[in-house]
């Protein structure tokens, strides 16, 4: 009985996560349409947001965070430099290291993007009363911490090889 309830809840959570991911993609596309005059792409916006949140960073750190290759990031950075959104500088400690930071245009873009996300977040929270907002944020913090620590099961755990095209492995009998 408890297992049936858990499975139903897992199904609901999967649906919520899929909807949230879709909604986040829509939000990002809406942000892009607002910033269309800047000529910024989604990947360029993601770099600007990363730098706005993390400050001056090494190219490798940015590429790792965004799951893109170094050559792809270099091409993105070249475009952002040309648009005056980012600035490349050499590290004071080690001249071999190139740090990337936001330029004035990038700072404005980051702040405008942040303001849009804050309005979106306010719209979400306004449907909740104060106690529900507190509970929601506590739960989101707990879930985010678990995901951030890598405590979530591997996406392929319990499944057959995708190359075999077989679905979910049957549960072992006890």
| pLDDT digits 0-9 by tens, 110-124 | 999 999 989 989 998
User: In the numeric block, which tokens belong to residue 11?
Assistant: 């199904």
**Cα distances (Å, whole numbers) of residue 152 to 18, 102, 143, 144, 148:** 16, 33, 10, 10, 9
The number of angstroms, rounded, from the C-alpha of 37 to the middle of its chain's C-alpha atoms is 24
Given this model, what pLDDT does residue 32 score? 79
* Statement: the pTM of the whole predicted model exceeds 0.85: no
Confidence of residue 125 (pLDDT cuts 50, 70, 90): very high
Domain range list for the chain: 1-34, 38-147
Question: What tokens does 154 get?
Answer: 């591997």
Is residue 5 predicted with pLDDT exceeding 90? yes
Average pLDDT over residues 12-29: 90
Predicted local distance difference test score (pLDDT) of residue 1: 82
For residues 73 and 79, what is the distance between their CA atoms, to the nearest angstrom? 10
CA distance 87 to 80: 8
Residue 35 φ/ψ, nearest 5 degrees: -95, 20
Mean pLDDT across 86-104:
90
Supply the pLDDT for residue 144: 87
**pLDDT above 60 (res 94):** yes
Average pLDDT, the chain: 86
Distance from C-alpha of 127 to C-alpha of 121, rounded to nearest angstrom: 11
Domain 38-147, classified CATH 1.10.10.10, yes or no: yes
Residues 105-113 have a mean pLDDT of 94
Residue 150's pLDDT is what?
A: 60
pLDDT of residue 146: 86
Residue 166 above 50 pLDDT? no
């Amino acid at each position: 009985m408890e297992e049936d309830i858990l499975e139903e809840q897992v199904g609901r959570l999967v649906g919520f996560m899929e909807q949230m991911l879709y909604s986040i993609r829509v939000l990002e596309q809406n942000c892009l349409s607002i910033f269309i005059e800047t000529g910024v792409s989604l990947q360029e916006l993601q770099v600007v947001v990363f730098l706005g949140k993390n400050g001056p960073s090494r190219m490798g750190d940015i590429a790792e965070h965004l799951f893109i290759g170094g050559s792809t990031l270099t091409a993105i950075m070249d475009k952002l430099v040309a648009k005056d959104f980012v600035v490349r500088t050499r590290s004071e400690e080690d001249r071999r290291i190139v740090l990337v930071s936001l330029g004035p245009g990038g700072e404005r873009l980051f702040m405008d993007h942040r303001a849009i996300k804050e309005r979106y977040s306010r719209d979400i929270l306004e449907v909740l009363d104060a106690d529900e907002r507190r509970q929601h944020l506590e739960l989101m913090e707990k879930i985010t911490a678990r995901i951030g620590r890598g405590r979530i099961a591997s996406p392929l755990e319990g499944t057959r090889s995708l190359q075999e095209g077989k679905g979910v492995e049957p549960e072992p009998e006890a």
